Structure 1
Amino acid sequence: MDDPNVMIVTYEELKHDLSESIRQISRFFGFSLTEAQVQQIAKESTFTAMKESSANSHGNMGNVIFRK
């Protein structure tokens, strides 16, 4: 797609290099992130972190939403 307002991100790209994908996405939206911010976002974007967060905010339903 050749539209400057659209960024296509694939699961494979995220899986291959999450930190670089975060940098690219932040640049696309015009954000300037520090390396510490990139690493924090990457850490909080893992399946395990989101599962734990969901359990905290959704109680027992969090285990239903995020299961592997």
Structure 2
Amino acid sequence: MATWMWIILLIVAFAAGLAVGFYAARKYMEKYLKDNPPINEEQIKSMMLQMGQKPSKKKLTQMMNSMKRNAK
């Protein structure tokens, strides 16, 4: 086979690998987020109740904002 054919084959294989890798990573993340959703206000509320604190709406909002800031 000529050298130019090997180069074309290599480029096509690389592009196909990128496409398949992107698709697989996307599906994996969708499944992961479906199985393990990010924390929400109800989870924070139950966690605070378990620690013996009485959660108010203000505290819940502060905790959610704090977690969003830390996630960035």
Bin of the TM-score, shorter chain as denominator length:
0.3 to 0.5
| TM-score of the aligned structures, taking structure 1 as reference length | 0.46
Which has a greater percent of helix? 2
Larger radius of gyration: 2
| TM-score of the aligned structures, taking structure 2 as reference length | 0.44
